[in-house]
């Protein structure tokens, strides 16, 4: 464990025959070490998670009772937009890349990522993009009031906050593409001898597939927002009906990105859960090959279902039938994965440390979100549920209870490896129970609100929706405060604690505990000193 507790990072500077390693802030700015960059991704992700959470709690505070109390309707809609964009592009995606940076080289026995300097650049694109995104709140006209989907014609008419958002998305997309190229090259070229593709930990597989998805869809989103930009400023009419354009075309292009994006966020979570469950069941993962094929099937099918977000725009009946059945087909490989996780646990020697608790919470709540997804995949039902709180409940069960719970599980699982210390198990369990209980208090009532017909993205509502909204708001604040427990657990673990043994989880079967963990100061050999 000693190698990971030493300060690492920075570049090598040969002067007078010895290396100079930057310290302080320059160490982090110039680092090419995958562990440092992974750490920065994870802290950036958590920071944006808190920012997006503050937006969410402001939204829930406004919805505590009917009428306008806290913000104007315009500001409310801006917060809805920024909450979605910050959570997706600022919290969930960088968080997944952080785990990839930290663990993929260790799991495949690589000395570092393939393109170490590009790795540094792909991270440092994110903070200015995030600042640009949030600046929209402070410019004339404010941030976009469109929701994270940026639908025209409304997005064509918004102020300069919309332009800032478009540029921020471009920069974040460039960061994602560079990170994906790096991950694919690392996995395909830098595996240790004997590490065939079908021997890789499932987390590496999940990211190999995710990286291909990102490279396929991020340029599509870039094209969509660029067309939006030219509609706004250069007289084109791609989406402007007044000039002969088609607003529904934007929805097709956007959701061709947007639906694979859901799987870009959840597939790394599948990989993380596939690391945690075997370890705490003391059994190898059940059906490794079928898990790999299921990941591939989910990725391929994710490109064929985008128009299920558009069941109310007037698609032809044949199109509706295709998208309906294709959407239901995704339930098959997803069901395979859930079955394999359950089969891994079956008759295993299970212990319930914090990582396993979060993995079980993931399993239960993600499956719930999957069932409600099947329900809204049925077009006649979706017509009733479209743009109601039922849809909000569905995708938060997938995104928050899915991806976020997997992130928490993996963080507690790997913290001993990252820091050399054991975290406080009692504090971590408080974090789990606070998150699990308050998540359900916050989001389960939204199913009832949606069934009763309450539309989403509105700051005011009819009296009959008051009670469930109040329950939901209390749950949201409880969930938000629970994350402060997480912050305390992580910081106290970094600062000290019981030294971690070589195998923190007794009887662990996961591969990454037995692989060497090289910590180079840089990714390039030091040139010889000329005498």
Any idea which residues carry the catalytic annotation?
83, 112, 148, 175-176, 259, 261, 263, 274, 308-309, 334, 337, 456
DSSP for 276-314 reads HHHHHHTSPPTTHHHHHHHHHHHHHHHTT-GGGGGTTS-
State pLDDT tens for residues 99-111. 999 999 999 999 9
Angle at 245 between CA 243 and CA 249, to 5 degrees: 165
- How far is it, in rounded angstroms, from Cα 411 to Cα 418? 9
Q: How far is CA 182 from CA 138, 303, 480, in A?
A: 35, 23, 34
- How far is it, in rounded angstroms, from Cα 420 to Cα 407? 19
Residue 130, Cβ density class (10 Å: 0-12 exposed, 13-18 middle, ≥19 buried)? buried
Angle at 412 between CA 406 and CA 418, to 5 degrees: 115
State pLDDT tens for residues 451-485. 999 999 999 999 999 999 999 999 999 999 999 99
Per-residue pLDDT of the chain (531 residues; tens, 9 = 90+): 334 433 444 444 444 445 567 878 898 999 999 999 999 999 999 999 999 999 999 999 999 999 999 999 999 999 999 999 999 999 999 999 999 999 999 999 999 999 999 999 999 999 999 999 999 999 999 999 999 999 999 999 999 999 999 999 999 999 999 999 999 999 999 999 999 999 999 999 999 999 999 999 999 999 999 999 999 999 999 999 989 999 999 999 999 999 999 999 999 999 999 999 999 999 999 999 999 999 999 999 999 999 999 999 999 999 999 999 999 999 999 999 999 999 999 999 999 999 999 999 999 999 999 999 999 999 999 999 999 999 999 999 999 999 999 999 999 999 999 999 999 999 999 999 999 999 999 999 999 999 999 999 999 999 999 999 999 999 999 999 999 999 999 999 999 888 988 888 874 444 444 444 444 344 444 445 455
Angle at 147 between CA 467 and CA 145, to 5 degrees: 100
What values do phi and psi take at 64, rounded to 5? Answer: -60, -35
> Under a CB-based contact definition with an 8 Å cutoff, are residues 44 and 94 in contact?
yes
- How far is it, in rounded angstroms, from Cα 279 to Cα 24? 36
Beta bridge partners of 499: 421
What values do phi and psi take at 147, rounded to 5? Answer: 80, 165
Domains assigned to the chain: 5-530 (1.20.210.10)
pTM comes to 0.91
């Amino acid at each position: 464990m000693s190698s990971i507790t030493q300060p690492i990072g920075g570049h090598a500077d040969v002067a007078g025959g010895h290396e100079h390693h930057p310290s302080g802030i320059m160490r982090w700015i110039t680092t090419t070490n995958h562990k440092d960059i992974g750490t920065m991704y994870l802290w950036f992700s958590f920071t944006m998670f808190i920012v997006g959470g503050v937006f969410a709690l402001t939204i829930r505070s406004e919805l505590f009772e009917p009428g306008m109390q806290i913000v104007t309707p315009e500001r409310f809609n801006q917060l809805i937009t920024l909450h979605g964009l910050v959570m997706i592009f600022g919290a969930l995606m960088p968080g997944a890349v952080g785990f990839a940076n930290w663990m993929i080289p260790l799991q495949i026995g690589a000395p570092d990522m393939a393109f170490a300097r590009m790795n540094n650049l792909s991270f440092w694109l994110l903070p200015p993009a995030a600042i640009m995104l949030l600046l929209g709140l402070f410019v004339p006209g404010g941030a976009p009031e469109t929701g994270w989907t940026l639908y025209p014609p409304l997005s064509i008419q918004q102020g300069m906050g919309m332009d800032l958002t478009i540029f921020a998305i471009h920069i974040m997309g460039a960061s994602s593409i560079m990170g994906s190229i790096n991950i694919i090259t690392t996995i395909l070229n830098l595996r240790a001898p004997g590490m065939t593709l079908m021997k890789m930990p499932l987390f590496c597989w999940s990211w190999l597939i995710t990286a291909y998805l990102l490279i396929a869809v991020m340029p599509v989103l870039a094209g969509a927002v660029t067309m939006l930009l030219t509609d706004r400023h250069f007289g084109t009419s791609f989406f402007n009906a007044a000039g002969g354009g088609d607003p529904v075309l934007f929805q097709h292009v956007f959701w061709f990105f947007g639906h694979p994006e859901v799987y870009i966020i959840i597939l790394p979570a599948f990989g993380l859960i596939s690391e945690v469950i075997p370890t705490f069941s003391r059994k190898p993962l059940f059906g490794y090959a079928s898990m790999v094929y299921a990941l591939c099937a989910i990725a391929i099918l994710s490109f064929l279902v985008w128009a299920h977000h558009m069941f109310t725009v007037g698609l032809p009946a044949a199109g509706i039938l295709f998208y309906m059945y294709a959407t239901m087909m995704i339930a098959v490989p997803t069901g395979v994965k859930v079955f394999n996780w359950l089969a891994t646990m079956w008759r295993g020697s299970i212990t319930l440390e914090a990582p396993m608790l979060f993995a079980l919470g993931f399993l239960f709540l993600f499956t719930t979100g999957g069932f409600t997804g099947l329900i809204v995949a049925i077009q006649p039902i979706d017509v009733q549920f479209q743009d109601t709180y039922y849809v909000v409940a569905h995708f938060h069960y997938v995104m928050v209870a899915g991806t976020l719970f997997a992130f928490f599980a993996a963080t507690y699982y790997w913290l001993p490896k990252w820091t050399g210390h054991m975290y406080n198990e009692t504090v971590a369990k408080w974090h789990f129970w606070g998150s699990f209980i308050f998540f359900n208090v916050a989001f389960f009532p939204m199913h009832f609100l949606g069934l009763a017909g309450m539309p989403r993205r509105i700051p005011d509502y009819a009296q009959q929706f008051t009670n469930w909204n109040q329950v939901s708001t209390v749950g949201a604040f409880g969930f938000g405060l629970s994350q402060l427990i997480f912050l305390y657990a992580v910081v106290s673990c970094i600062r000290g604690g019981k030294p971690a043994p070589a195998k923190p989880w007794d009887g662990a079967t996961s591969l990454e505990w037995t692989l060497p963990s090289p910590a180079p100061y840089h990714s390039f050999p030091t040139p010889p000193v000329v005498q």
